[in-house]
Structures are given as C-alpha cells and as structure tokens.
Amino acid sequence: MAPHRTISRRRLLGASLGGAGSALLGLSGCGTGSGSISAGTDHLTIWYWNGSLSDKLLATSARGVPGVPGLKVKGAPIAGDYRGRLRTVMAARAYVPDLACLNSPIGDYFPDENEFLDLRDLGADAVENEYLAWKWKSCVSPSGRMIGFPLDAGPTALYYRRDLFEAAGLPTEPADVAEATSTWEKYLDVGKTLKAKAPGHPYLISQIAYVFRMALYQSPKQFVDADNHFIGDQEHVKRAWDLAVETYRQGLSARVLDGTPDFNSALGGGRIASMNTAVWYINGLKDTAPKTAGKWRLTSMPGGPGNYGGSYVGITRYCRDPEGAFAFLKWLLGPANQLKSYQEMALFPTTPAAYDQPAMRRPDPFFGGQIPVDVFGPAAEKAPVIFFSAYENTANTPVYQELTNVETLGKNPDKAWRDAMDASRTALAQRGVS
C-alpha cells in the first residue's frame, strides 16, 4: 500500500510538472511562428475597443469580407487598457494582431512607425480623395510613412442651452448664436450676459481647460513641431492660454473637472449653459443629463471649426496578408460602411460624401429636432491640418495642470504660465526635444 502511494504521488507530480513545462513550450512555440495572433488560422484578426468599430460589419467580415473571395477578418474587442495591451504584444513581438485600431493622438506611435506597414505601399493613394484632407495628412509620420487609415472624426461645435439663452434675452437660433459668438471674445461677452440675466446665473463653461484646448486646436501648430522643436511658448499657445485665463477672471467657469459628480450635477442642473466639444460627446451628454433633452442646440464653435479626437486603423508589420488587410480596410472604412457605422455606433465619418446622405440627416429630438450633421459636417470639412508630435502629451500636460491650478487653487496666472513653460521645457529636454 505504502510504496504504491509513493509512486502515484510522484507520478502525479511528474505529470503536473511535465504538463506545465509543455504548456510553456507550447506557448512560446506558437509565438515564434510569425508574431501574428492569427497564425495558423483561416482569418485575419483586428483589435478594437468597444465602440470603436461596428459590430454588425465585423460580424459580416468574420464570415467573409464582401468582394474579397476567401478573406475573413475577425474582430477581437480588447477590454481595459487598450493601448497598454497593444504595446505589450508589440514589445513581445508575439500575438500581435494583423490590424489594430489606434486612438488619437496617433503621434504616440510615430517613434515606432516601423511597427506598422506604410499604407501607401498598399495603394492607399488611390482612395485619398474620398477622405477629409486634414485627417488623411494626420495619418502620415514626419518621415512620410502612412501608419494609419482614417476611422472616425471628432469635429467640434458649440453646444448651448437654448432655454437659458432665451431667458437671458440672447439670440436663440443656431445661425444667430453663431453670429453672436463668432469670436472667443464675443463668446465671453455672451457668457457675461448669461450669468447676469439667465435664471440661476449659469456659467458659460464647465472648466477653462476646454477654452484652451479648443482655441489651440484651431491652430495648425501645437507644442512641438515636426523637427522636434518646442514651440509651445509661442503666440498660438499663449493666445489660447490668455483666453482661458480671461474666462476664469470673468467668473464664467463652473470650475468642475470632467466626469466628476460635481460636473454631472452641474450639467444636469442647468448651471452650465454651453460647452465646446466634439461630436462624440453627444452620447455622453445624453447619458449625463437626460432631463435636459430638447433644451440643447448646436452651432459652430467660437473662433472657427476644429477637431478633437477621432481614431485610426493600422496594419501591423506582423500582418500575414497585407493586401487582404488593406482590401478589408477599404471595405470597412469606405463611404458606404462609414455611413452604416454612423447609424449604428455614432462614429462620425471621415468620408465627406456621407454627410449628404439621408441616413445622416435625421433630426435629433435631444437638440429640439436639429440635424447635428448640419453643424458637424461643415466643421469636419473645414477643420485645420494639425501636426501632433509624439511629444505633445509630455509638453502640454504641465499646461493643463497649471490651468487647473489657476482655476481651482487660485494660483497667479502669470506665475502659472511661467511654471508651465519651465515644466514643459524640462520634461521635453529629458526626451531630447528642445
């Protein structure tokens, strides 16, 4: 009895160790093939985060991409830290998807542009004229490599509360409001009237960072240029800063940070009379302040159109079938399917031909029956071409932090500006940008 038990225990140990060992070997064995997660299967794999691609279109392509015989592409929704996971598999050079959605700013990937295939080599130029020119240009790295394909756009608009504007005796219809707020200075004047006359003395905006961000996005130049020089201390940034500080000085900001309970209650309770943000915030607004339905309107943003956010799809260098992957992209992100994605997922098309289609021209009761694309379409077509460097976040983080300090802690704005510039320069110097 006793010897028998010893042997069986040892066998058990041996079997479990052997099992673990062969599992490890098996894992690494898979990875060494081509680095692609779809190696050994009959389909290509595209990674996306929930809401970034149409589930219906992906269901179609999993059965077979229409017009491309034998090609199947399956979508893999990645939950949690999407960028972190994508970068992890790229660092490991194993289990990399054939295609991957890339969120803006795409400049994050420019230093590692060779991880992605140049879409121009695959014939992207042939469809260039179907897409928004600024979006197309933003896919191209400083060295001229096109690492992403346009997915959706984030044209911006002025969201405003018609009821509060009316109560303050201000213009109420979109065209008239656009006229009354055509510049940031006129917009701030409107804010003063709102605060003085509308019920509950509402604030013009939720936080001054939005004034800074949107004014800056109206400029083709940002913090770092394509030659890796710091240009964040120049007039285009200072002007946006001054506008934000002026908004604070005049007491027009509710001083609530995005997404906090205070923000939600201020928005739902009518203490914020307008917002400057992108088309993709429509759903966020509907979720946050459902009781304000019918009271909001949209019009063009003070100071001109802009774009905030919007995504891309890249083909990784591990892709098993680059031609097939590009054919899939042309199908998935062509004008017809971008229209479907807008209807299903509210992804704003990067193909202007879709803007005139009846499916996009549905009135939205949340905006009192206004047709949102009437505002966002022209904004998308006229948004400036902007270069976002890989070091943009490093450079602008201190500026956003100092704006919060001015607004929340009452820090002296001039000192805040000097501190922000010092912090930006230091952070960039560390990364070899000056």
User: Interface residues with other proteins (CB under 8 A)?
Assistant: 9-10, 13-14, 17, 20, 81, 84, 87-88, 90-91, 108, 111-112, 115, 209, 255-262, 265, 393-394, 396-397, 399-405, 408-409, 411, 423, 426, 430-431
Tokens standing for 175?
A: 């065209």
Given the complex with other proteins, which of 183 and 260 has the nearer CB atom? 260
Tokens standing for 258?
A: 């995005």
Given the complex with other proteins, which of 71 and 89 has the nearer CB atom? 89
CB of 71 to other proteins, least distance (A): 28
Alpha-helix residue ranges (DSSP H) falling in 357-432:
373-382, 392-409, 413-430
Given the complex with other proteins, which of 17 and 76 has the nearer CB atom? 17
Given the complex with other proteins, which of 16 and 183 has the nearer CB atom? 16
Residue type, 40: G
Distance in angstroms (rounded) separating the CA atoms of residues 228 and 110: 12
Distance in angstroms (rounded) separating the CA atoms of residues 159 and 245: 21
Peptide bond between residue 69 and the one before it cis (omega within 30 degrees of 0): no
Distance in angstroms (rounded) separating the CA atoms of residues 252 and 207: 9
What phi, psi does 186 have (nearest 5°)?
-65, -35
Distance in angstroms (rounded) separating the CA atoms of residues 9 and 312: 55
CB of 158 to other proteins, least distance (A): 19
For residue 272, the SS3 value is: strand
Given the complex with other proteins, which of 370 and 424 has the nearer CB atom? 424
Given the complex with other proteins, which of 71 and 244 has the nearer CB atom? 244
Given the complex with other proteins, which of 358 and 410 has the nearer CB atom? 410
Given the complex with other proteins, which of 216 and 339 has the nearer CB atom? 216
CB of 360 to other proteins, least distance (A): 26
C-alpha distances out from residue 365 to 167, 290, 295, 370, Å:
21, 12, 9, 7
Segment 409-417 long-range contacts (CB within 8 Å, at least 24 positions apart): 413/245, 413/248, 413/249, 417/238, 417/241
CB of 54 to other proteins, least distance (A): 23
Given the complex with other proteins, which of 108 and 321 has the nearer CB atom? 108
Residue 364 C-alpha from the chain's centroid: 23
Q: Which residues pair with 272 in a beta bridge?
A: 203
CB of 43 to other proteins, least distance (A): 25
CB of 409 to other proteins, least distance (A): 5
Q: Which DSSP category does 303 fall into?
A: T
Angle at which helices 261-268 and 281-288 cross, to 10°: 80
Tokens standing for 66?
A: 């229409």
CB of 250 to other proteins, least distance (A): 20
Closest among 430, 421, 431, 432 to 223, alpha carbons compared? 421
Given the complex with other proteins, which of 307 and 338 has the nearer CB atom? 307
Alpha-helix residue ranges (DSSP H) falling in 129-259:
133-138, 162-167, 174-180, 184-197, 208-217, 235-249
CB of 152 to other proteins, least distance (A): 16
CB of 175 to other proteins, least distance (A): 32
Given the complex with other proteins, which of 83 and 236 has the nearer CB atom? 83
Tokens standing for 179?
A: 């006229």
CB of 109 to other proteins, least distance (A): 9
Given the complex with other proteins, which of 81 and 125 has the nearer CB atom? 81
CB of 178 to other proteins, least distance (A): 27
CB of 401 to other proteins, least distance (A): 5
Residue type, 45: T
Distance in angstroms (rounded) separating the CA atoms of residues 39 and 17: 28
Are 369 and 363 in contact by the 8 Å Cβ rule? The answer is: yes
Are 325 and 45 in contact by the 8 Å Cβ rule? The answer is: no
